[in-house]
Structures are given as C-alpha cells and as structure tokens.
Structure 1
Amino acid sequence: MGVLKVVVTTGLAFAALTLPSMAQEKAIFDPMDRIHPVWAEHGMVAAQERLAAEIGRDILAKGGNAVDAGVAVAFALAVTLPQAGNIGGGGFMIVHDGPTGKTVAIDYREKAPAGASRDMFLDAQGNADSGKSLYSGAASGVPGTVAGMKAALDAFGSMDWAEVIAPAIRLAEGGIVVTPKLADSLKDARKQLEAFPSSARIFLKEGGADYRPGDRLVQADLAATLKTIAAEGPDGFYKGAVAEKISAAVQAAGGLITPQDMADYTVVMREPVRGGYRGYEIVSMPPPSSGGVHLVQILNALEGYPIGALGQNTGQTLHLMAETMKLAYADRAHYLGDPDFTAVPVAALTSKDYAAAMRETISADFARPSATIGPGDLTPYESDQTTHFSIIDKNGSAVANTYTLNLSYGSGLVAEGTGVLMNNEMDDFSAKPGVPNAFGLVGGDANAVQAGKRPLSSMTPTIVLKDGKVWLVTGSPGGARIITTVLQVIMNMIDHKMNVAEASTAPRAHHQWLPDELRIEEGISLDTIRILQAKGHTIALKPAMGSTQSIMRDGASGAVYGASDPRDPDAATVGY
C-alpha cells in the first residue's frame, strides 16, 4: 500500500512523517465505530443539566429564539445546578443574531464593591490569605447574572421576561429530584455549606443529613426571589428587600457589598474578539475574559503547523500545543485585566505577526522550561466550577453562555431569606502579583483588586462562523483549563475532521505556564507520554478536564448536531 510522506519546513526541523494512505485509514477506522452526535432539524440546546436543557428546548419549540431560550436556561440552572448555575454570580454571553449577522459580547461579570482595595486579601505579614478571598463575605463581588439576562433579552429576545423565568420558579417551588451527581456535589461541599446556617438549612436535610439520590430538593426562598425578579425586573434584585438582604448577609460574613453597590451594577456590551483559523472565523469573549484573546492567540500560532497531518493527540501535536499554551498563559499573567481600568493589548496579542514571532521561539524537539518564559514583547505589534450552555435556533441565531460562582457553590454563603448562593469571584483578582489563585493562575498589576473593577476570567464562550453563518457554538467550565478545552474541541473538528461528539469525547491536555507541567487525561497513550517526556515535558495525569456543551450547524441542510461532554453524567443535548 502507498504512503504519504510529509516534510514540514515552517521554521522548525521536523523529521519526515510517514502517514497511512486513505485505503489504510479506512481499514483502520470503521465509520460504524464513530461516536454519533444528537441530531435535530430546527434548534438545539446543550447544557450541563437535563431539566434546564429541556426548558430551553421547549422555549425554542414554542417559537422563542436562542436568547429567549438562553435566559430561561440560565435561570433554570440557578435551581437545578446550584454548584455553578446562579443568580448570585456572573458571566459572559456571545450572541449571534442570524437574520442580521450581528454578533455581540455581553459582559455581566461581577464587580468589586466600592469599598474594595488592592491589599484587602493580604494578612498582617503581607501574604495572600486565600481563606478570606474564597470563603468569607469579602470573597463576593456584586452579582451580574440577573442584569445580564435582562440586557440580553431586551436586545435580542422576543418573549416576555416573566415568561422565560416561570419554568425556574416552578422548579424551585416544586423541588427537583436529586441526581447522584448533585448528591455527591452537595456532600463534597458539606463543610463549606454548613459554615453558614442559612446555607445548611437549604442544602442539608432536616437534622443535618446529606441529600441522597432520589430525594427532592425544594428551594422556597429562591422561588420567592425569582418571583420578585419576574414581577419587578432587575430592580427586584438590585434594589429593595432582596438587595438589602444580600448586602446584610455579605457584610455579616465580613464582606463589603452595600445596597448602593447592588443598585450601581451595570452590564457592558462589548465587541467580541475575532480571529481566523484555516478558513473559519473564531468569535469569542474579550477582556475582562482572557478566553477569547488567548484562544485566538494559540490558534494563530498553531495555524503555522500542519496539525491535521501530524495527527490528533500525537506526541508532536501535543508538544506544539503545550509550547504555544505556555507562551499564551505567560502573556495572560502580565497583560490581561479589566479593559475599563487597564489598557489590554488585544490587537497585538491576536496579531498573526505576533503568532509568527511566537513560533520562532518554539523548538520541535525540546520543551522550553517555564522559568525561561516571560510575557512577549508586544512593541512591534501594538497598532471548575462554572457552567456553559450552547443554543442554536431555527433562524441561525446562536447563544454561547458561560457563567459561574467561581468555585463549587461559590463562597458557600446563601443570603438569608433569598435562597441566593453568593459567588467568590474576588479570588480571581491578583491578591498579590505573582501569587497563584485557586486555579494556580498567576496574575499581575493589570488584575489587581480595585473598586468597581471586574476580575479577570478564563471563561471562553465561543461561536465559530463559516462563510458568515454559525458553524459551531461551544464552551466549557474548568477554570484555567477552559481556554485549552475549547481550543481542543475546535482543533478536533477543523484539523482532525471529527464530528462534534468525537471532538467532545477525545482526551485533553493542558499547560498554563505555571506550574511547569503538561496536564493530561487518561487516554493519551503511554508511547505518546514517553515521547513528550523525552522532549523534556513533565507529565501530570490528572482528573478529567471540562464539560463542553457544543452544537454544530450544517451549512447546506441547516440541520444541527450537538453533544454534551460525556465527562458529565447530568449534561444533556436536546433538540426539536
């Protein structure tokens, strides 16, 4: 049988690669063995929890658009996925309006209270105090989810505000059946939740017992809060009794949020980060998310290599990915922050010329130690516990939404009488430049704590366009690993020609510069690991990364194909 010899000369010295012929490929890979995605004719929702996904699907089926469904899913997840779904947190939404072709980034990230200060998370010795930035009232920023959902619905929705919140109210009032995953999650968070009596009363059974699979979890206070929001709009959350209760609870736990902070919260409509990769347009979230910038930056650098020919999860492909990831995360630590407070060099970081300069520093044979890597010189180029859902409607409109409380169940604090779990997003600031946060990410002055500022995030809600039409909607939870998780779904589909289910299932790898280790999931072959080790990589086999929720739209037929990450047993993709 014939073979194809590929010799790559892109500034690096690769050995000749011998690849199977097409006939050999067909003999090795039986198409009937492929993992198949969910198919639907009109519209689809992929979310990390089935009840919420079905609520979104029902909204689409009754004539609602992608944003109508997205707002309904977001409020439903606040009930069904309390460890991440929320109204006490914040996040980012990318909306593509099919009829007009307009794409907008909606920033509803939490904000630091007016009383926040640069050194608020340092102890008497000047060291970062992670207990204060994670598990006290001071850990909470002003929530943005309610305002963000209203801004999205006002700008792009077609249904009434109260109508899209109604399903969440029914779930909170009537209760949800506890799944095995939710039971395990609540048990794991027990210490965190029982630290606050207001939280323990909801998330532990009477007498202090753990919820078990099959039990019914009722959230009556949350239902009452949702009813107030449905009747009064965001003012029912940011002003009046609910805002006062949230402020009082946060301050009693040592935090800073005041009723005025709540009333002053604003959403920002931003221009998305855009890039091109092998004929596809990448549209993702701009700062204060680092996700879109570094997704485009890494893809720009990898576009200079024949990734498809090198093969999926081969030693050479993973090596090039890791070396590129290191450079991007070093830049993240230095340059990224809230663009309303610091100048973020987005154009420079996403420049194709800068990507070419990055490739010049990468060796095909050796892993560069992270200690020798710093932020790039941009002068020539300047001119896990989050949740994601993806939605496509029959008109080709799409929503990619990632929102979070930061760690699972946030700070663990439920504001008494509201049912609202509060975020611990203040830990996403750099408490002290150079000191890692809960996800091991190092930050600098650009992400220092400051009143009214939004903390840097890795959330990467992304829409990929082909010929101006939605081709893929994707995103994931996972903290620092979100960017690289989304990256690999896109590469798997574009470079390795996988369908959306295969792309979601394939083993993943991650490098974030510091610590200097290449994290991998089970499924990477031992031979590949040995190749990487021979190049100088320190390999760390760790638990599964991400929970991608992805939908692909076929441009010719208009049919949609989706997949929820099999790493999450409660996730679901549903269509109609």
Structure 2
Amino acid sequence: MSFAAALQRLALGACLALLACAAQAQGPGHAAIASPHSEATSAAQRILQQGGNAFDAAVAISATLAVVEPYGSGLGGGGFFLLRESGVTPRYTFLDARERAPASARADMYLKDGKVQPGLSVNGPLAAAIPGLPQALADLASTHGKLPLKDSLAPAIRLANQGFAVDRIYRDRATMRLSALRDDAESARLFLSGNEVPALGTVIRQPELAATLQAMAEQGRDGFYRGPMARRLVEGVRQAGGIWTLDDLAGYRTAWREPLRYPLADQRELISSPPPSAGGVALAQSLAMLQRLPWQSAEPVQRSHYVIEVLRRAYRDRGLLGDPDYVNNPINKLLARQYLTGLADSIDVYQATPSSALPPSPPWREGDHTTHFAVIDGDGNAVSATLSVNLPFGAAFSVPGTGVVLNNEMDDFAADPGGSNSYGLAGSQANAVAAGKRPLSSMSPTFIESPSQFATFGTPGGSRIPSMVLLSVLGFLEGQPVAEWPATPRYHHQYLPDVVEHEPGTFSARQKTELEGRGYRLKDVGRQYGNQQVLYWDKAGGTVEAASDPRGVGRAAIVD
C-alpha cells in the first residue's frame, strides 16, 4: 500500500470515528419516559413506536393526563414546557403556556369593602384564567412534531371514551376538594359517584372531553379557542358568574421564551424555567450558593443546614419577579456572582439565620397540585413539562357539555397588592392582577447538561417545587442511582413562614434535636408530597434511565 493510500485510509478512519462520536453526542439511540400515570406512559410509547418524536410524545402525555388526572392538569389549565432539540450543539427553548387573566380582570376584583374574599379566586369560574394547554399542544405538534396533531391526541380520545379506573391518588385529591366538587353539578356528575368520592377501580368515562379533544384533532387550536367550542365555553362561564369573552379565547397565545441558563461546576449547565416562573431563578441561586459551601463533605445535619439557608435566601427574592411581558425582572442582579457570593457568605456555619434578619419581601401563595412528566427520544430530543390547574380539580367548575374542568390560577396573583400587605408594595405589584397577565409560578421543569451527561428534573408541588428539584439535583451531582433522585426524603424552607417543613421520617429524633438547637422550627406536614419524574442519559456509556416518584402511581419506561 502506498503512503498516499495509507494516509487516505487513516483519514477515512478518523472521519468515521468523528461521525460516530457526533452521532452518539446527538442521541442515545433509545427513548425514555417518566410520567405520573401508567396510561400516559403507554400513550407516549405508542406515539414513539409510530415514528413520533419526543415532542409528539409530550402532546400525547399531556392530553392523556388531562383525561386521567383531572385534579392536576387538563385542557382548562396551562403549563411550562422545557424543550431540547438534538444536535451536536443542542438548542433549548421554553414554551410558556401559562394561563392569562381575562381582559376584564382588574387588581381589585377579589376585594369587597377593602378586604380580600378568598373564595372568589378559588372556586367557580371567576377564579379561572384563560387556559393555555390546548394552544401549547397545537404549537408543539406544528413546530416540533413529526406526526399530525390528530395522531398524538388519539390515545387520549380513546381513553376518554373508554374510561379509566380510579386509583388512590384520584381518591385522595377528590376527597380534598369534595365540598367544592359537590357545589358544581357538572363536576359532581363527571368526577363523583352518587355525590361521593368514587371507590377504587370505578371507571370514569368522559365522552364530552373526548369530543372536545376530537374537535382539536380536526381543527387544531381553533377547535378550542374559536367556533362552537369557544361559544360553549364562554356561555357556560358567564352564566355561572365568570368574565370570559370570545375575544379572550381567540386572543390567547403561548409565549416562546429563552430558558434560564446558569453555568455550574465541572462543565455542567443548569437549563431551567425563566419568569413567569420563579423556580429557575431559585434553583440557580441555591446551586450557586452551595458551590461556595462544603455541602458534599458535610454530615447530614450540617448539609441540611446549608440547604435550608440557601433556600431561605433564594425564596426571599421570589416576590421581586412577575410576568416578563408586564414587569422588568431583575434577573441579572439576582444571578450576579457578587450578589450570590454575598448571600452565601452571610450564612452562619452553625446557626439558623432568622428570616426577620434578612431584608423583607412580600408574602405570596400558590396552589400545590400540578403534574409533571419527562421524555427523551432516541435522537436526543427531550421535553420536561410541568402542567397545572392549580388546586386539585382547579376551580372545581366544569363547563357543561365540554368535559373541561377550569383552573383557578387567578388565585396565584397577589389579590391585594396595596392594602393589607405588611411587607411593602413593590413585590406584590410585580404579581398583581392585570388584564392579559400571567400569574407567577414555581413550576420548574429543568435540565442539567454537560459534554458527558444529560438529566431532567421536575415535580408538582406549588411553592415546594424548587426545593424538591434542588434535593434531587444534589443526588444527581453526588452520583446517586437515578431511582434515588425522586425518592429522596424532602424538606423545605421558603423564607416565610420561618419554618422548616418536612415529610414524616425525613429527620431522625437526634437530627431534629440538633436542628432545633441551631434555631430551626420544624413542622412535620404529616404526609408525603410531590411526584417527581426524572430521566438520565449517560452520553459516554450510551445508556438512558428513567425513574418515577415512588410516592405516586406513575411509570417509567425505556423504548427501543
């Protein structure tokens, strides 16, 4: 063989090796799914096996969860979708499908005689913002999917007609909202049995919801936001005291935003949710502070001390954020190295910092029953999505003839931005009710990526979402098995109230005594919370793993 031929062969071999490396970098070759319900996981498997990608699978999962988890999400709600488009250099995008306040909404709409009337923003159609999920499903299919929308909606339509069996989670959520469900005849008809919580195994059929999904399958977004369906929705809402209009529905649009991105150690990058989510900022701040603290080498109580203190400081800043289409969010200030270094350095190594010793921040509240899923396909496209109707079964109001239970996301706004707020005006105004505005949220679908690893995180849980995601991320950073990330015992601090909430059994008796000796006030919430779904792609090893929270009834799966 001549020298030139040998050189050519060597060059060809190098090119093939580079191509193999590039192919490996772009995708794992297998798909993985983690969802909170077996039916949703099965729907995604079918779509992937039909040639769909991760974005088509996300449509199928979302629509199926609208059927089997009416307490957590649905066509009457919204959510956040964090997307990864595969490539040697991946592209990340964030689809904001958060609900928007109706055009007639005003800052004092939940006040009477100068006082907040909480029930008005919780139950009934006045509590409902304009839904975003139907638009998001149409957007995902048209901009990122490989299959037509009707194919990805087909599993949910079939399931809505055939019915699904009531499980323990459904019974728990329906019990929590039993009184409100009973107060609405249509919700009681759809979701109760003889005005009581259905027994385990009871089959819930929703032909009206199937018809609504079918209208979307045939007409796309217009099957929900315009025409006969829109007229039915508006008529039902207004007859029951709501303020929706046809223009509100026709004018709804999702927002494509740049994800929040923050560099971490070891070539890792946090890719998470920007405002109107406050969760991504809290995660970035918490991880940045922990990088300055020896949390990995600390014994359990000391580690908990560090985590609680960074959460206290990150949550304090939440009240400064709001819908970026309406307010200027001080993201650069909140994520500035000098600022975060100062926060980390303010942590006493052994004693709790009373929240009263930190600068004040406005109080806030948020419903804690949402849903989350994650999916990655063989090419490396991935979705991490958190969806919500706010409280269990949302506003507990279902529009007759549609099968759609409405959200009560208006309750996530600051209902009284100027009157009874004892901590000042600025932060409350950032999240005050305004026409067309999206309420602030803690929903935090999250990726962490490096040249050798990719992981996704997310969970329902309202204000506790960032703390739950943080604890799982720490498990990932420590190299724990994937199944342990969503299973880790949970604790939480959110600046105010100045208390450490935790699940039963999170701390031993000795650990509780030590933490209390450091100045912490502990509160056992009496139940497990959250329902995290995670994925992991080992790029070097070419393997994917998925795990579903053992607290729920979800299922993880690997798909060839």
Same fold (TM over 0.5): yes
Question: Which digits, 9 at most, give the CA deviation of each residue in 1:445-484, with x for residues without a partner?
Answer: 10000101000000000011112x7610110000000011
Work out the number of aligned pairs and report it: 518
Aligned residues of 2:369 and 2:388 also touching (Cα < 8 A): yes
Which residue is 2:509 aligned to? Answer: 526
SS of the residue corresponding to residue 359 of structure 2 reads coil
2:239 & 2:482 partners in 1: Cα distance? 47
Deviation at 1:436, TM superposition (A): 11
Deviation at 1:492, TM superposition (A): 1.3
For the aligned residue pairs, the C-alpha RMSD in angstroms reads 1.8
Of 104, 123, 129, the residue aligned with 2:93 is 104
| 1:248-267 correspondence to structure 2 within 5 Å | 248-267=235-254
1:510 & 1:57 partners in 2: Cα distance? 34
Question: Which digits, 9 at most, give the CA deviation of each residue in 1:110-136, with x for residues without a partner?
Answer: 000000001111121x22221011113
Which residue is 1:287 aligned to? Answer: 275
**Matching of residue 343 in structure 1 with residue 328 in structure 2:** yes
| 1:382-393 correspondence to structure 2 within 5 Å | 384-393=368-377
**Matching of residue 324 in structure 1 with residue 307 in structure 2:** no
**Matching of residue 547 in structure 1 with residue 531 in structure 2:** yes
Which residue is 1:362 aligned to? Answer: 347
1:252 & 1:304 partners in 2: Cα distance? 57
Aligned residues of 2:131 and 2:407 also touching (Cα < 8 A): yes
Aligned residues of 2:234 and 2:246 also touching (Cα < 8 A): yes
Question: Which digits, 9 at most, give the CA deviation of each residue in 1:360-400, with x for residues without a partner?
Answer: 22111221111222269xxxxxxx21000001111111100
Which residue is 1:12 aligned to? Answer: none
Deviation at 1:343, TM superposition (A): 0.2
The alignment-based identity, stated in percent, is 38
Of 456, 471, 481, the residue aligned with 1:499 is 481
| 1:478-493 correspondence to structure 2 within 5 Å | 478-493=461-476
SS of the residue corresponding to residue 308 of structure 1 reads coil
Deviation at 1:65, TM superposition (A): 0.9
Which residue is 1:52 aligned to? Answer: 40
1:374 & 1:252 partners in 2: Cα distance? 46
Aligned residues of 2:174 and 2:392 also touching (Cα < 8 A): no
Which residue is 1:449 aligned to? Answer: 433
Which residue is 1:244 aligned to? Answer: 231
2:469 & 2:107 partners in 1: Cα distance? 32
Deviation at 1:351, TM superposition (A): 2.2
1:453 & 1:68 partners in 2: Cα distance? 28
Aligned residues of 2:178 and 2:196 also touching (Cα < 8 A): no
Whichever residue aligns with residue 527 of structure 1, its letter is R
Task: Label 1:165 to 1:541 Cα distance change in 2 as closer, same or farther (>3 A).
Answer: same
TM-score w.r.t. the length of structure 2 is 0.90
Task: Label 1:130 to 1:281 Cα distance change in 2 as closer, same or farther (>3 A).
Answer: same
**Matching of residue 371 in structure 1 with residue 356 in structure 2:** yes
Aligned residues of 1:485 and 1:545 also touching (Cα < 8 A): no
Task: Label 1:436 to 1:295 Cα distance change in 2 as closer, same or farther (>3 A).
Answer: farther
Which residue is 1:19 aligned to? Answer: none
Which residue is 2:297 aligned to? Answer: 309
2:130 & 2:449 partners in 1: Cα distance? 33
| 1:24-423 correspondence to structure 2 within 5 Å | 42-99=30-87, 101-124=90-113, 126-205=114-193, 207-279=194-266, 280-311=268-299, 314-333=300-319, 335-374=320-359, 384-423=368-407
Which residue is 1:574 aligned to? Answer: 557
Which residue is 2:417 aligned to? Answer: 433
Deviation at 1:219, TM superposition (A): 0.3
2:328 & 2:235 partners in 1: Cα distance? 35
Deviation at 1:209, TM superposition (A): 4.4
SS of the residue corresponding to residue 553 of structure 1 reads strand
TM-score w.r.t. the length of structure 1 is 0.87
Gaps of 5+ in 2: 1-27, 362-367
2:486 & 2:543 partners in 1: Cα distance? 19
Whichever residue aligns with residue 426 of structure 1, its letter is M
Whichever residue aligns with residue 317 of structure 2, its letter is D
**Matching of residue 558 in structure 1 with residue 547 in structure 2:** no
Aligned residues of 1:463 and 1:470 also touching (Cα < 8 A): no
Question: Which digits, 9 at most, give the CA deviation of each residue in 1:256-290, with x for residues without a partner?
Answer: 11111000001110000011222211100100011
2:334 & 2:145 partners in 1: Cα distance? 33
1:416 & 1:435 partners in 2: Cα distance? 37
Gaps of 5+ in 1: 1-39, 377-383
